Amino acid sequence: MGKIRNVGELVEPSHDEGHRQRFISILRKKVLMDFARDMKTVYEQKVEPRFEHVNRRKPRDGREIRRAMRHEPIYEAWSSLRYNAQFMTWWSVQPAVERSLPTLIEAARDAARQSPAGGSLEIDRNLAIPGYVTQLDVHQMPGCFHSEYAKDDVAQGAIYHYGANVFYGGLGSNLKPKGDVARSIAHYLKARFPKFQPKRILDMGCTAGSNTLPYKELFPNAEVHGIDVGAPCLRFGHALAEAQGLAVHFHQRSAEAPGFPDNHFDLITSSFFFHEVSVPATQRILKECYRMLKPGGAMIHMELPPTALTDAYQNFYYDWDALYNNEPHYERFRAMDFPRALMAAGFKRDKLHLVRIPNYASTPREEFLATARGTNTKRREHGVGRVWFTFGGWK
């Protein structure tokens, strides 16, 4: 059995490409932290008082704030910076991925042939890719998760994987969602429900597996499965897992019709997934989750917090992505009545899970454990890297 080359380390940018990537990481940090703070100041000190003066009340929701902000120079410039930085993230990794593609494909083929860690890869050439993936390139990533440009292509998986490093690269070690969502959920389960030992785990919309692999690390005896509609992401994710010695089973299947038997999984999870599918599809997927869950099993999905849990300014800020990052379902998803949607899928009211889980990597251990066990009364704010909103239920 030959050694599998690690697809996560095979792409080498040139001197200038590497520095182009690091510029984008820092630009994004400036936009999301420094300039975002300036924009909020302009809102609080100028735009909101002006709105109140005219309307004799504060804005009711994010949409009203957006209407009040949209022709403010800082909003126009901030949006332009953020929008361009999004494209530039993907562009900054494309040339090196193009050059390395034959090597990446070969490494992924070796992984698929040998699966030395014991995982597997199942590609369904006849799978109908849902419209919410094919109609728009989600996250403005040209080619989205599913497009293929060569035989056994892994390019889009590589772009997503290496692009994420650029995307989060300037935000400091506390703000790296890559794998952190899964680690936080797994550690939450261990702390809160020490007797819960999942034997079979499913991650839906797993893309290149960054939030699938930690489940195998943290529950090594579990059989871990990941599904996604994008073959290039799955091939890349499988190759990455095998190179890391993690047995994970990747399947090209839609979460709307995943095809696993009834009462099959102890844990069904996802991260940053539901806001990318339509709301009717969300309902179908939640029903499928309930069907596939074993009695006593848990469904825990991580998502952006619902509109009802965040204030009007945060909603204005979050919903920017729905309008400008090719995530059109995001706003309607966040506006959903979560308990109602979960109960419509079959979950009982007293078995619902609506929990803010602190980010494991950046939260002091004591505080993480106290929060997980429900003994911590201090509340941390929502936001990438500090606390994850999770929803689901126990069957």
Partner 1 sequence: MAKARKKTNGTKAKSNGGQPVRLPIHAKGKRAGFYRDPANDQIFSFIIMLTQELSVAMDRIETIERLLDKNGVVRRKDIEAYRPGDAEETERTARRDAYIGRVFQILHEEAEKLEAGH
Sites of contact with partner 1 (CB under 8 A): 14-16, 19-20, 22-24, 26-27, 29-30, 34-35, 37-39, 41-42, 45-46, 70-71, 73-81, 83-85, 87-88, 90-91, 94-95, 97-99, 101, 129, 134-137, 140-144, 146-153, 155, 159, 170, 323-324, 326
Nearest residue (CB) to partner 1, 70 versus 373? 70
Nearest residue (CB) to partner 1, 99 versus 382? 99
Nearest residue (CB) to partner 1, 99 versus 291? 99
Length of the chain equals: 395
CB of 140 to partner 1, least distance (A): 4
CB of 153 to partner 1, least distance (A): 6
CB of 150 to partner 1, least distance (A): 5
Q: Which residue has the tokens 């073959």?
A: 231
Q: Which residue has the tokens 């917090």?
A: 305
CB of 257 to partner 1, least distance (A): 20
Q: Which residues pair with 293 in a beta bridge?
A: 265
Three-class SS state of 299: strand
- Residue 288: what residue type? E
Q: What is the rounded distance in angstroms from the CA atom of residue 246 to the CA atom of residue 115?
A: 10
Here the tokens at position 177 are: 């969602």
Nearest residue (CB) to partner 1, 46 versus 113? 46
Here the tokens at position 216 are: 């195998």
CA 334 and chain centroid, separation:
15
CB of 45 to partner 1, least distance (A): 4
CB of 147 to partner 1, least distance (A): 5
Q: Which residues pair with 358 in a beta bridge?
A: 387
CB of 190 to partner 1, least distance (A): 32
Q: What is the rounded distance in angstroms from the CA atom of residue 383 to the CA atom of residue 104?
A: 34
CB of 53 to partner 1, least distance (A): 16
Three-class SS state of 194: coil
Nearest residue (CB) to partner 1, 166 versus 224? 166
- Residue 24: what residue type? I
Here the tokens at position 79 are: 């949006």
CB of 267 to partner 1, least distance (A): 33
Q: What is the rounded distance in angstroms from the CA atom of residue 303 to the CA atom of residue 270?
A: 8
Q: What is the rounded distance in angstroms from the CA atom of residue 341 to the CA atom of residue 174?
A: 32
Q: Which DSSP state fits 11?
A: -
Nearest residue (CB) to partner 1, 77 versus 370? 77
Nearest residue (CB) to partner 1, 79 versus 165? 79
Here the tokens at position 329 are: 């379902």
- Residue 337: what residue type? D
Pairing of strands 265-271, 223-228: unpaired
Q: Which residue has the tokens 């494909």?
A: 105
Q: Provide φ and ψ at 293, rounded to 5°.
A: -75, 135
Nearest residue (CB) to partner 1, 7 versus 289? 7
Q: Which residue has the tokens 């939450």?
A: 188
Q: What is the rounded distance in angstroms from the CA atom of residue 210 to the CA atom of residue 164?
A: 10
Nearest residue (CB) to partner 1, 22 versus 356? 22
